[in-house]
A and B are shown apart, each in its own frame.
Chain A
Amino acid sequence: MAELNTGRGWSASGDAAGVTISLEGDWTGPEAVVEPGIATRLVDHDGLKTVAFDAARLGRWDSALLVFLLELRRASLRRHAALDEGGLPESARQLLSLVPQAMPAAPATPPRSGLLASVGQVAVDAWTQCVAATTLLGAVLLRGGASLRGATLMRRTDLLAFMQTAGLGALPVIALVNVLVGAILSFMGAVQLRKFGADIYVADLVGIAVVREMAPLMTAIVMCGRTGGAYAAELATMNGSEETGALVVLGVPTSEYLVLPRVAALTLMMPLLYLYAAALGILGGAVVAVLTADVPAVAFLDQLRAGVTSSEVLFGFVKCITFGLFIGLCGCRIGLAAGRSSADVGSAATRATVTGIVGVIAIDSVFALCAHALDF
């Protein structure tokens, strides 16, 4: 039985027992790559004993030829046919010798875990995260306490620099957000209150809403995106470049040298930002009330002083400090636990921001419940 077969750059001839493949011309560039499967079909018949080559007219070649030869080699191996590479150029034989004979084993797919195992894994992971976060909180509080006595590895310049970026740097965006929120509250409130002829109470509404809820919440949300995400990205990058490792080897705890200044800066700045945010929120509300609801500015201020008590401000203060502590710890913890690739840095920043915002709102609702129960 005569077998004749040909393609671009090659032709096969021979009988059932032996095939000779003649290679000719140039085999360079991606267009010279022979479609996978053709080489296999060439030697895929029963009783084939030998496969030989004739490369007398072969021109220049690159990987395209090697891919073809490799497939031939593996196909003949499966058929137990002898592959005589003697006809090939010496350099091609050398390169082929680098490639293992057998096909690489397919990577073992990990066994699929059942629902119970997955749920269990999630629970264990969550618990581990909880423990790690609590440990970090404890370490930061302990070292923070020690640093008040001056016994600390934290650098003062680090703390001041973080206070500047977290505090001063955030002023414009916090001003914008809170003025607008105050204005919106005032506008919505005035429209509703006018129906009852109670226009003047817009001052109470804006004052209490801003001081008690909106200023702490909006400030915290801005800080999550601005600072929490940045902390996570920064620490994740340091992880990737083994900067954290270099600190650990020196015996410098990352919780003290890296986390404490960041968390302390944010926690110290949050109350100040809160006061600033509350003042601007009320200002926004007052401007809108004066302009659209015809409430005189003096009457607005008078009503505000009666409506907003110092306990409201205290409540806002406490919330802000808690938010600052939470956002800082959350960003640092996620950053320190991140992987080492550039994608890990991005996902750490995203996770820190999202976890921060969700966590802040959750904490805020806990505060609301507690305040209600305590009649505060």
Chain B
Amino acid sequence: MEYIQQHWAILVIMVIYTVFCLGIGQWFKKRAARSVDDFYVAKRTIPGWAIALAFFSTFISTNTYIGQAGYSFRAGLSWVWVGVFWTFFCMISWLVMGPRMRSQTAKLKSLTIPDYFDFRYKSSYSRAIRIFSAVIILFATVWYMVAIAKGCAHLLQSTLQIPYAWGAFLIVFITTLYSVMGGMYSVLWTDAVQGAIMFVVALIMIAIPFAFVGGWEPVMQSITYTTHVSARGAPIGDGLVIFCALVSFLYITSIGLSVGMKQISEPRCLIRFYSVDNAKSMKFAMIATPILLGVSLICVFSVGALVHGMATPQEAAYLVKNTDEVIGFMLAKMNNPWITGVCMAGLFAAGMSSLASVILIVGTAFIGDIWNLVRPLSQQQMVSYTKWLMWLYSAIVVAITIYPPAGIVELTAFSGAVFAAGFFPAVYGGLYWRWGTGTGAFWSMVIGIVATVGWRLFVRFSVPGMRDYHEIFAGFIVSIVAYVVISLLSQGDRPSEEHLDHVFHTNQAK
């Protein structure tokens, strides 16, 4: 009873939120079960505003709202520069990839990123690319899901005193349940609602330090010169507001590129383009998504630095070494159950929207791109098997989350680099370069991933002074060069001109 009295506001908001997500899943249950096209890509019938919100909520996760937001406590306001990179890649994703991806995938009747490679390149390597890329998705995704489930479980533990293992189980179970019920329909519509909640929460988060301290002037005064100490123990002084006084620009660039580039290469982001209903919606989403992302990132990336205005020197000395606790500290210090409840809903929305997207991607990659190739399935079997696979994969994720390996955050960032190096040249080349071949796409994936892994194992942490040179740089450049050179050397592997005319929509223009 005392527990309910203490947490009732947060519990009410969380219960409403959970019931709403499950309600959406139930609403779309019948429609999603009609065909593979419905379950995998929502029959390409989702309006632009919903896709914009869904793209935003899928790309941003709990890690951004807790980890990155807290990190600016240590790095100062210069940390906002990471947001510049992320916003830039959001623009590139929608301007360069969006419309073409939507057109080509509809023409090719593609339902997943791996089957796009197969249908677009139509070469002797097509099946190999499809299976290889599906395997990459299966292996790289598990770490990302574990990191999100771990973050959410810790959050439930610290705010509602739910044991860690139960928290991990609950968050994965609820997300998988509504994703399995409504397929891409429920994933996209819950993502859209979660995106709206996250946007509002970003605005609330930035307002908290100002409300607590008493307005703009006192907060800015307190961070312009502070007696708090940095992570190295030296006084920060004016470091919070001086460019790169507390963090190197190379490190900002590394995080900016390795995470930002996920928007142009990760299946969970690219698959969003498949479901846009028409050109008008596409145009709307091309404008709205960078606005949603940009405004949220300004708030989220600067809030940590502003929290210095709320902390005593002793509290700051602890937080600067434990930046993941900065947002929790801010909410506890504000001590308003309704604000905490709404922010908690936003943080869970950030985690669940990313989890739901990748659970579906994993299910479609294994059943649609591996099982169905080896042993062809009927439409109903594909939908049903995909659902079972989603449950199985989620169970594995929960098991790993309960006993997480060391360095899970690093593994997550690494999986982003693997996607950028492995997928980007094959996707971009497929969309824009008629001369791109399946041989080039396959070997660029292999070489890009080998370069990424090699740089990490033998250069970044072994050669002095290379720590801030993220593996994304090497992997990305090498895979693009490999795609261009090998494609030009393997022109015999090009699909027929009729096929290319169909893909590039050039037959009507002739």
Specify whether A and B are partners. no
Point out residues on B near A: beta carbons under 8 Å: none
